[in-house]
Amino acid sequence: MEKKGRILTGHRATGPRHIGHLVGTLNTWVSLQDSYECFFLVADLHVLTTDYANPEKIRRNTIEILADWLAVGIDPARSTLVLQSAIPEHALLSLLLSMLAPVGRLERIPTYKEQIQQLHLSPSLGLLTYPVLQTADILLYKADTVPVGEDQLPHLELAHELARRFNQLYTPIFPEPQALLSSIPRLPGIDNRTMHTSYNNAIFIKDTPEETTQKVMQMYTDPTRIHPTDPGHVENNPLFSYLEAFDPDQNEVSIFKERYQAGKVGDIEVKRTLARVLNQVLEPVRQRRAEVIAHPGDMLEMLRFGTDRARLVAQETILQVMRAMGLTAGLDLAEGASGPEKAAKGIFC
């Protein structure tokens, strides 16, 4: 089938994926695998921008992420899995693009400002250049489409600007990448704050049915409602955001909403339904997860296979970039071969 374009997207290897990742990004990625050529990146270098003191955690989380991706339907036979740190061209392109990125522009990026507030540390140079590295991830594969969550839009804007600037200054080799957002709004955590691994408010894909039910039963609902007969609010009520995102029977959801607003159904009944719905949707995913995590060696082999493939593309791009920027002294660094193999035998091997 003729593909619509090329996707590069990824997650930082920060821990097992939660149901917010599932509706925010993963389901979209899975559905795009047939219509786009997809590269899915495990961004382990990006983890170092904040969490550089725990190497063992990065290794473990890489496996956890892979297991979740495969379980939800990321298919290594159709898509390319990429390990960022195994392809040095990511770091090199980031360095080259950093020359075009004004420090003041990077300092104004909202995710950077939030991170320094939260960290209570003086930020590293690596944290400041986080979105430059992300731009390198995208441009290295000349991706035109980047499916991400809303929080990533400021980074995509930078990627767009840097691609443009490069194309204007040197040779137009990069598509200007476009963000693609999920149609479902961001899912709140069970306490109605942003769902976040470190806030202890996430339902994980790998949670057991009992853990899931227990978390649903603790969920924040309408704080103004004291008795089940009080009319309730469905807006800003995570019970209903979750039902909208997961219940295959949206008619059931509409009826629940009406009854809730009329004070004709208690929180407990809605929560029981939600727990059932979530466990039903997650059951096949959990089964696949258990199968894949039992063979971590096989998962790493899939990652190696994809990474080897991706590196050929990366090497070709980096040579073009270096030449365009006046580097390599015009030496034919890839002499003696042709096509992708030519790049593969290039300067880094």
Q: Could you say whether residue 160 binds ligand TRP (CB under 6 A)?
A: no
Coil, helix or strand at residue 9: strand
Q: Which of 6, 7, 11, 127 binds ligand TRP (CB under 6 A)?
A: 11
Q: Could you say whether residue 48 binds ligand TRP (CB under 6 A)?
A: no
Task: Report the chain's C-alpha Rg in angstroms.
Answer: 22
- Give the nearest distance from C-beta 143 to ligand TRP in angstroms: 8
Stretch that binds ligand TRP, among 38-46, 52-60, 257-265, 308-316 (CB under 6 A): 38-46
Closest to 231 (Cα-Cα) out of 218, 241, 222: 222
Q: Which of 7, 8, 74, 162 binds ligand TRP (CB under 6 A)?
A: 8
Q: Could you say whether residue 74 binds ligand TRP (CB under 6 A)?
A: no
Stretch that binds ligand TRP, among 2-10, 204-212, 266-274, 293-301 (CB under 6 A): 2-10
Residues 6+ apart with CB under 8 A from 74: 26, 29, 30, 33, 40, 81
Residue placing its CB nearer to ligand TRP in the complex, 43 or 302: 43
Minimal CB distance residue for ligand TRP: 43
DSSP per position, 104-136: HHHHT-HHHHHHHHHH-SPPPHHHHTHHHHHHH
Q: Is the dihedral of CA 158, 161, 164, 166 positive or negative?
A: negative
Residue 293 CA to residue 71 CA, distance in Å, equals 9
- Give the nearest distance from C-beta 291 to ligand TRP in angstroms: 26
Q: Could you say whether residue 317 binds ligand TRP (CB under 6 A)?
A: no
Q: Could you say whether residue 41 binds ligand TRP (CB under 6 A)?
A: yes
Residue 14 token pair: 């920060």
Q: Could you say whether residue 148 binds ligand TRP (CB under 6 A)?
A: yes
Do 12 and 46 meet the contact criterion of CB atoms below 8 Å apart?
yes
Residue placing its CB nearer to ligand TRP in the complex, 57 or 225: 57
Q: Is the dihedral of CA 200, 27, 32, 177 positive or negative?
A: negative
- Give the nearest distance from C-beta 134 to ligand TRP in angstroms: 4
Residue placing its CB nearer to ligand TRP in the complex, 10 or 232: 10
Q: Which of 43, 140, 202, 302 binds ligand TRP (CB under 6 A)?
A: 43
Q: Count residues near ligand TRP (CB under 6 A).
A: 14
Coil, helix or strand at residue 327: coil
Binding to ligand TRP (CB under 6 A): which residues in 100-139?
A: 134, 137-138
Residue 44 CA to residue 115 CA, distance in Å, equals 18
Q: Could you say whether residue 10 binds ligand TRP (CB under 6 A)?
A: yes
Do 187 and 20 meet the contact criterion of CB atoms below 8 Å apart?
yes
- Give the nearest distance from C-beta 10 to ligand TRP in angstroms: 4
Q: Which of 38, 65, 146, 282 binds ligand TRP (CB under 6 A)?
A: 146
Burial class (CB in 10 A: 0-12, 13-18, 19+), 108: exposed
Residue placing its CB nearer to ligand TRP in the complex, 27 or 261: 27
Q: Could you say whether residue 271 binds ligand TRP (CB under 6 A)?
A: no
Q: What are the phi and psi torsion angles at 237 (to 5°)?
A: -120, 110
Do 265 and 239 meet the contact criterion of CB atoms below 8 Å apart?
no
Which residues make up the interface to ligand TRP (CB under 6 A)? Answer: 8-12, 41, 43, 46, 134, 137-138, 146, 148, 152
